[in-house]
Amino acid sequence: MADNAQIRMRIKQTADGQTDRSDLFTKGEYRLHEGAYYIDYDESEATGFEGSHVQLKVHGDVVTMTRTGAAFSSLVFEQGQRHYCHYGTEFGDCMIGISTTKLRHVMADNGGEIEVCYSIDVNGGLMLSNEITISVKTI
């Protein structure tokens, strides 16, 4: 992977009435391939998935996040839609529901921004809500 981009992730996570916020910075790869923008980066100890690789694919009105490595996950974000997705953890794998309430992205050759608000449910019960903004800029 050629590190040609700076990536900033602003994360707001709410569960059981408690909200946590974090900002993460990393380097990765940003590219346009066959009409889709890709953002690739390696996870770190700060995210709890050290040794894993993440690929975000922005294509039309859909953003897909795939994590490979110690725990495999594949999440699909599409505004106004609920998708059943595979989510891997250190304790095992499960199927979760991803309901996206807001998805906005502005992508260009030198970088862009993705904003997604979504909730995660397991067996129809709300687990948590997330708001993530990912900014990428070529270097």
Structural domain range at position 126: 5-138
Instruction: State the pLDDT at residue 47.
Output: 64
| Two tokens, residue 114 | 């993705």
Q: What are phi and psi of 64, to 5 degrees?
A: -115, 135
Percent over 70 (pLDDT), the chain? 96
Residue 27 pLDDT class (50, 70, 90 cuts): very high
Place of tokens 């009409």: 35
Cβ-contact 100, 80 below 8 angstroms: yes
> Which amino acid does the sequence have at 81?
Q
pLDDT per residue as tens digits for the range 42-91: 987 766 667 889 999 999 999 999 999 878 999 999 999 999 999 887 78
The Cα 42–Cα 59 span in angstroms is 21
The pLDDT of residue 113:
98
Contact indicator for 5, 28 with CB cutoff of 8 Å:
yes
**Global pTM?**
0.91
Residue 17: CATH number of its domain: 2.40.128.20
Q: Are 121 and 96 in contact (CB under 8 A)?
A: yes
Total structural domains in the chain?
A: 1
Task: Compute the half-sphere exposure of residue 138: CA atoms within 13 Å on the CB side of its CA.
Answer: 11
